[in-house]
Each structure stands twice: as structure tokens, then as C-alpha cells.
Amino acid sequence: MYERDVELFNDSLERCSCEPEFLRRFYTLFLASSDTVAKKFERTDLRKQARLLKTSLYILMLASGESERVVHMDRLAKLHSRAELDIKPELYDLWLDRLVQAVKEFDPMFGMETETAWRRMLQPGIEFMKSRY
């Protein structure tokens, strides 16, 4: 993990988080991306969900090392696994693409470098979640 990515990701997340609409926009995009996704969130309070997601974005950032991932993300990975929410690995790629799309719309300083930083920061956590499916 590069120091520069951490900084770019964190600053961009701060700018986006100033806008209460940011994570709601993400969920609108994500739910529209697939019927499977929309079905999974049929009974979810999306405002509460957006709050939980914000916290977990910081967790994903902190969980850059292998051992931190196991400690911080074990419960979340288990919840999303086949046995519980049954979130198929390919849905994580949609998740990341729609999240980056929302960042693009909300971060006034968005550019290629910012996009790369988001992807690099979140990829290890996503791979971990997929591997626990």
C-alpha cells in the first residue's frame, strides 16, 4: 500500500462524505446495476445501510495488511458468505465500479489518480471477502 494512495483515498472520501447524498447515490447506482443486487436489498433501510458502509470504508482502508484484514473483516466476510447473505464474488466488481462512479460524481477533484487510489485501497478487502465466499 502506498502512502500516496492512502492520502488520495482519504482526502477524496472526506470530500465525498461532506455530501449526505454521496452514499445514497452509490446505492441508487448499485441497485440499478443488477436485479440480483436490487433483490438482496429489498427489505433494507438504505439510510442506515449508507451509515454502516461509511464506517466499513474506513475499515477497508485500515485493513491493508493480511493480519488486520482477518481481525477486522472476518465478521463482515462471514455475513456476506454463501451461508448467510450469499453474495456471489462477481457482485463485488459491480459494487466497486458503482462506488467509483459515485465518487466521480461527488468529488470535485476527481481524476485518474484518485480513481486508482480508491481501487488500490479497496481491492485487498474485496479479494478477502470474495475468498471467504
Q: Establish if 125 lies at the interface with ligand HEM (CB under 6 A).
A: yes
Q: Is 118 in the site for ligand HEM (CB under 6 A)?
A: no
Other C-beta atoms closer than 10 Å to the C-beta of 121 total 23
Tell the smallest beta-carbon distance from residue 7 to ligand HEM (Å): 21
CA dist., res. 29 & res. 126, Å (int): 19
Residue closer to ligand HEM by CB (options 8, 124) is 124
| Closest distance to ligand HEM from the beta carbon of 54 (Å) | 9
Complex with ligand HEM: residue 6 or 126, whichever CB lies closer = 126
Q: Which three cell numbers stand for residue 63?
A: 485493513
Nearer to ligand HEM, 8 or 63 (CB): 63
61-100: contacts with ligand HEM (CB under 6 A) = 76, 79-80, 85, 87, 91-92, 95
Q: Give Cβ neighbours of residue 103 (< 8 Å, ≥ 6 apart).
A: 12, 16, 110, 114, 115, 118
Site for ligand HEM in 9-48 (CB under 6 A): 37, 40-41, 43-44
Please tell me the distance from the alpha carbon of residue 33 to that of residue 27, in angstroms, as a whole number.
10
Burial 25-42 (b: 16+ CB within 10 A, else e): bbbebbbebeeebeebee
- Note the residues at the interface with ligand HEM (CB under 6 A): 37, 40-41, 43-44, 49, 52-53, 56, 60, 76, 79-80, 85, 87, 91-92, 95, 125-126, 129
